[in-house]
Amino acid sequence: MPSFDPKKITDIHRHLHSHLPPEPALRVKAIESLLVEKGLVDPEAVDAWIEAYTEEIGPKRGAQVVARAWLDADFKALLLSDAAAAVTELGVQGQATGHLQAVENTDGVHNLVVCTLCSCYPFGILGMAPAWYKAAEYRARAVRDPRGVLAEFDVALGDDVAVKVWDSTAELRYMVLPQRPAGTDGWDQEALARLVTRNAMIGTDRDLSKGIA
């Protein structure tokens, strides 16, 4: 009679699944294949949307906005007073940026963005919201214990730094303007933009100097 080793079966199961996409990705692929088969979806259009969100609509758009603000005092002033107008000036406006407000990190202030009711997010310039941003735990704790949440993202703040939490809604969404790292004098906009992370524009990243080679 063959023996049954539960540990061995678990190891085999884990090994097999380590070579497969996660279950949600499999479901999406199955749905996409079915829609393509029925002629309801053009696979080239799907690829174009994926490329757009990865290469253009993703955080790279927001990074360009931040880099421009670091270089251009007039643009920075416009961004902080009327963010929707500022992003329109750069031609990177999109859905969810019509009621956008930018908040600036300083030596004495750190800003953190959350959406406590759902997951409102300026995806037109920051791309798709990360899974943790939509999680109930983040949405609750960001308001109740923002310093604790930031610590889990390796953002350590002194007592002299105030934390401001901004709660996004369908009518008003926020992005953080992070501080420009020291040692970047003379850098052009493209080089500066490469330092800007999505998390920095949400507020769960603060020190961008680690991106300097």
Catalytic residue among 3, 33, 81, 115: 115
Residue 54 vs residues 39, 46, 58, 148, 205: alpha-carbon distances, Å: 25, 12, 5, 30, 20
From the list 33, 120, 168, 209, the catalytic residue is 120
18: annotated active-site residue: no
CA proximity to 122, closest of 142, 104, 95: 95
From the candidates 18, 33, 81, 119, give the one annotated as an active-site residue. 119
CA distance 159 to 110: 11
Distance of alpha carbon 109 from alpha carbon 62, whole angstroms: 20
Is 81 one of the catalytic residues? no
> Of 33, 81, 118, 209, which is the active-site residue?
118
3-state helix, strand, coil in the chain (%, to 5): 50, 10, 40
The 8-class DSSP code of residue 116 comes to: S
Angle between helices 73-81 and 59-71 (to 10 degrees): 120
State yes or no: is 3 an active-site residue: no
120 a catalytic residue:
yes
| CB-based burial, 159-178: b 16+ in 10 Å, e otherwise | eebebebbebeeeebbbbbb
Q: What is the rounded end-to-end Cα distance, in angstroms, of the chain? A: 62
Which residues carry out catalysis?
Answer: 115, 118-120
